[in-house]
Chains A and B, each alone.
Chain A
Amino acid sequence: MKIEEMNRENEMLYSGHSACPGCGAALAVRFLTRALGPNLAIVLTASCWSIIAGVPPLTALKCPILHCPFPSAGSVGSGLRRGLNAKGKFDTTVVVLAGDGGTFDIGLQALSGAAQRNEDFIFVCYDNEAYMNTGMQTSSATPFGARTNTAPYPLFKEGQKKDIMQIMAAHSIPYAATATVAFPEDMEYKLKTAQKISGFRFIHILSPCPPGWGTESSETIELSRLAVSSGAFPLFEVRYGMDWKMTLPLEEKRTPLSEYLGIQKRFKDIDRDRLRVLQEEIDYEWEFLKDKVKRSEVLK
């Protein structure tokens, strides 16, 4: 999509926000609010966006943002939805916005509770793969082999990135999807699809972080694209935990993983063994997804 072709009418992110240059999260929320607005209320947990939103009474978005404590996003979202319903405001879309820490780690319990109750809102995780607001500390969304400030040289992040999509699919929620900033049409399709469904919806957005990942601010879109083409971050959607669908055609020939990792300083001195572990993980994930998609087709 060319910039000129984008629908700029519903722009809800003001210029002058406090994000770093090249921030994937700022871009993700720009696409998100444009797709879902204008009748939108955002619950925002502690994350980079707590800063990007600006200092009150100034604000970065053209809709209400309700800040909430770190572990509480899923529950505050549940309450806000119910409160708006009690006041007859059924038409407002409630979006809960959390980083990977507020989703994969400290927010997981409230997220799981809200998903299990099938609360009627959209939970959006913008995943920059570490605690970036506090300066790049390991989260359970940090990929294996990456360097963080709580895994400094010669250490590296041990253990796989938590598979949040499988966790959410296991809750049998009406809709869950992955998205990333290099594919705005795909993201818009998923957000608009989610908006039309009632019940709990989960969108996992990979949002590259130049200072955290050690990349140039101009490389955000390229990174986002390479994450998809290398298979590190496949784009798909799941309905009710059963109906899995790839939203970009499966390609057997993928971009080498080294191209995606090579431009990121956090993977600067990853060795061959660790690269192989990561590659095996990705290969396994692709086989898993293909299998899920195939089974979904049989079910139909």
Chain B
Amino acid sequence: MPFEVVSGSQAAAIAVQRVGVDMVAAYPITPQTAIVETLANFDARGELGAEFVSVESEYSALACCNGAAAAGARVFTATASHGLAYMHEMIHWCSGARFPIVMVNVNRSIGAPWCLDPDQGDSLSQRDTGWMQIYCSGAQEVFDTILQAYRLSEELLLPCMVVFDGFYISHTYEAVDIPDKKQVERFIGPPTFPPQVVPGEPGNIHGIIPGEKQIQLIKLKYEAMMKAPALFEGINSNFEEVFGRRYSAVDAVTPRGAKTAILAAGATAETVRWSLPQLAGTGMIQLRMFRPFPAEQIRAILKKSEFERIVVIDRNCSVGAGGIFAQELKAALYGLEDRPAIYELSLAGGIDLTGEMLIEMVESIDQNVKSGYRWGDELL
């Protein structure tokens, strides 16, 4: 298959072109802009095959996707940071309406003050909106995950957010294996999910209902989402047959005798992976799927490993509580016998992670640091 040197943003846009969508709603925001620009270039060359709508805000971008998905159309939009925050109401609405929308969010810090670095607080603020969330650690993963996200979404009738770090992934160029459109069509055909708006058929679609009905719909949504980890495995088996690569909702590197694991999601996972040779007795857990939270899979990994402590890299901070991945991990391991100790390294503000920082963090645990929470800037 042909390798091309592309940025993470270009990989995302090419994936959308290969999937074949009916409509793209576009609005610029740093560091996402290159995605919609690349899609606009496809459109200009007549290679997009979709309606391209330059809307007047992120809110409208997702609202526009909403309307098109209601007609049974496959749609795409991308955003970041303040754009995602501005969409918040529509983000809830899309999952309630069970629209299989795929959206890319490129992580960026939220103000005030203005900051462009890749804090994950934007996407993690949307964790309770009923969207699946998958975090990617490189351009190849971005490309592949977008293909898989459409399959997941359309099968479960739930929207899916594909998330990756601003600049470290969006603006970094890598060699990416890019299959042609025909190959991608072998993996994902045209959309087959049912339209909600059918001309000629009366319907009071998403009209007002009492709480007793609402809880039933929430239950259905919950049950659908809990199928995602197993379905993701199945989709990856199929993906492997076609493309020769596969991913898991969570995967781990468990060297014999390793007592410490570093848990990371997104670009930091790649840094951890490359730093492992310098970190004696240390393994890692890469979290790809964050919603639904793959608690069972993490427990299974811990059962097989010798990990006694986990250092969670959180490029985010829920002020008043701590890192969000760490909180979720603690909740997932609640009640587990031989629960590992959990330490947190905060990269809030989107600060960079270096191998040196990792070494110092892991060594400071060996020195029996009392506090489990370290601010990354103090390790710089």
Contact = CB atoms under 8 A, between A and B. Distances in A.
Given A58-B204, A85-B51, A110-B56, A77 B72 contact: no
B189 interface: no
Contacts of A85: 51
Nearest to B93: A69
A59 B25 contact: no
A87 B75 CA distance: 13
A207 B363 CA distance: 72
A189 B55 CA distance: 31
Interface stretch (B159-167, B206-214, B351-359): B206-214
A289 interface: no
Contacts of B125: none
A38 B201 CA distance: 10
B53 interface: yes
B237 to A, nearest CB: 31
Main secondary structure of the interface of A (DSSP, over half): mixed
Interface string B70-93: 111101000000000000011001
Interface residues of B, number: 44
Interface stretch (B61-69, B137-145, B220-228): B61-69
A256 interface: no
Given A41-B197, A54-B207, A59-B207, A83 B68 contact: yes
Interface string A64-82: 1111110110111111111
Interface string A28-60: 000000000011110100000011011111111
A80 B197 contact: yes
Interface of B: 22-23, 25, 50-51, 53-57, 59-61, 63-73, 75, 89-90, 93, 195-210
Given A56-B209, A62-B202, A64-B197, 13 more contacts: A41-B199, A59-B204, A66-B70, A66-B205, A74-B60, A75-B63, A80-B67, A80-B70, A81-B67, A83-B73, A109-B57, A110-B56, A113-B57
14 contacts: A55-B204, A63-B200, A75-B55, A75-B61, A75-B64, A78-B55, A79-B53, A79-B67, A82-B53, A83-B67, A83-B195, A84-B199, A87-B195, A91-B199
